[in-house]
Amino acid sequence: MTRTAGPPSQIHDLVLRGGRVLDPETGHDALADVGVTGGTITAVSARPLVGRRTVDVRGLVVAPGFIDMHSHSHDVAGHRLQAMDGVTTALDLEAGLSPVDEGYRQAAAEGRPLNYGFSASWCQARMAAVGGLPHGGGMHVALGLLGNPAWQGEATGTQVDEMLELLRLDLAAGALGIGVVVGYAPRVRPEEYLAVSRLAAESGRPTYTHARDLVEQFPDVAIDGAQEIARAAAETGVHAHFCHITSTSRLHSDKVMQLMDDTRAEGGRISTEAYPYGAGMTAIGAAFLAPELLAATGLTPDGIVYAATGERMANAERLREVRAKDPAGLAIAHFLNEADPFEQGLIDRALLHPSTVVGSDAMPLTWTNGEPDPLAWPLPPTAVTHPRTAGTFAKVLRRYVRELDALTLLEAVSRSSFGPARILQDSVPAMRRKGRVQVGCDADLIVFDAETVTDRATYEHSTRPSLGFAHVLVGGVPVVQDGALCLDALPGRPVRA
Ligand SMILES: [Zn+2]
């Protein structure tokens, strides 16, 4: 790593003075000053730097801002919660958007606290080409249609071609790969998944998959969900990113991780991602939450909590009612029991595996009074979500570094910043300048107290922001300063392939 840039007398816009500077790529872990000018890191030096503004960060850690590959936060409120959790780049790669341009335009027009980017959405392209539903409309429209059987059926060859054409346009517009939530449409033919993977491989970009069911869960599934990802990587050469691996693999997570290891050993390009919680969250109308399918995966109706009211589904009948009335309504689904040592162990092992990066699966907020107010801060108690939205990254630091001593601080930071950058950078050159504290890299920087940083969001109090991130800079602009959110900061910029 270059320790200094320019003449020693150079005056930087901002100097972070005397922090413990972590750079996962080089392994740098030492006290240094960091200079920032015009959105770029202009020096990292063991000797004191001169700045127009100097912030004393002695006793604190300076690290690359976290890059969340799995964030469905598509508004200012969600970005703010994630900023308080150390995130500087929030990418929606699993679901994505189609047309992807629509999402980039909306984010640019409204302004975003964090950098943002999207994959091409297989689901939205399929809704249009196969389901005959309107194309686009953003995340909320897609969530509203997620449980609609119209888009989930088998497709004709012509329909698949039309869908691939929509995805091709999105890739040409800079989409960061293709998001494939095939688990939401289990009757899709395996050939279609391969065709989508081939298209991604041709464009040199990854697929990001929410896997379909495993054969242990549903013996008559068209193809085992984990085998499908492994096969696509092997046959098409695509970089296949396996989203929230414990959320779909559940009790079979160890076996699925082993299959991914075997596939990698044979040359397949596979990365995995996990969040540190046992519950998932999705639209209550999702195909896999149908009452008649729950038993196969060990879920019961009372493990499903409707976010809008906090109601636990008393029985299959009640679940059926709510699915019919509000299919787009979000619900928490307790897939794995965090209080059970075996089930918590599955989450821990998947997250601690060397190939796994941290991804939050941050969800759009549910406004229990029906009136979204995304510019309110602090968030009112009428805003609820899954605690992973607010607390994933701080929880990894608290639990796996401080409490379990299972990761070094540098390792935990790496899985949350450099790791995601490395997965993306072959196809997204801009990511070579992120996830690093090096001269010439983007000044997406976080400053936190390693001894106290902690998540505070729980299933009961899901939007409590994390604590301990003193400063969060996005392109050199403070989004969090002295632990407080900067209300008018909207420095987020698009990340495109
Ligand atoms: Zn998912």
CA of 172 to the centre of ligand 1 (A): 25
Please identify every residue whose CB atom is under 5 Å from ligand 1, which is an ion: 210
CA of 6 to the centre of ligand 1 (A): 46
360 within 8 A of 70, measured Cβ to Cβ: yes
Q: Global pTM?
A: 0.97
CA of 210 to the centre of ligand 1 (A): 5
CA of 49 to the centre of ligand 1 (A): 45
Return the pLDDT at 2: 47
CA of 486 to the centre of ligand 1 (A): 31
CA of 42 to the centre of ligand 1 (A): 38
CA of 102 to the centre of ligand 1 (A): 22
CA of 213 to the centre of ligand 1 (A): 12
CA of 5 to the centre of ligand 1 (A): 43
CA of 244 to the centre of ligand 1 (A): 7
CA of 248 to the centre of ligand 1 (A): 8
Return the pLDDT at 297: 83
CA of 471 to the centre of ligand 1 (A): 30
Q: In the chain, which stretches have pLDDT less than 50?
A: 1-4
Q: What residues contact residue 169 under an 8 Å CB cut-off, 6+ apart?
A: 99
CA of 179 to the centre of ligand 1 (A): 10
CA of 306 to the centre of ligand 1 (A): 17
CA of 142 to the centre of ligand 1 (A): 13
- Radius of gyration, alpha carbons of the chain: 22
CA of 38 to the centre of ligand 1 (A): 37
Return the pLDDT at 186: 87
CA of 23 to the centre of ligand 1 (A): 30
CA of 427 to the centre of ligand 1 (A): 22
189 within 8 A of 411, measured Cβ to Cβ: no
CA of 3 to the centre of ligand 1 (A): 41
Return the pLDDT at 6: 53
CA of 245 to the centre of ligand 1 (A): 9
CA of 411 to the centre of ligand 1 (A): 25
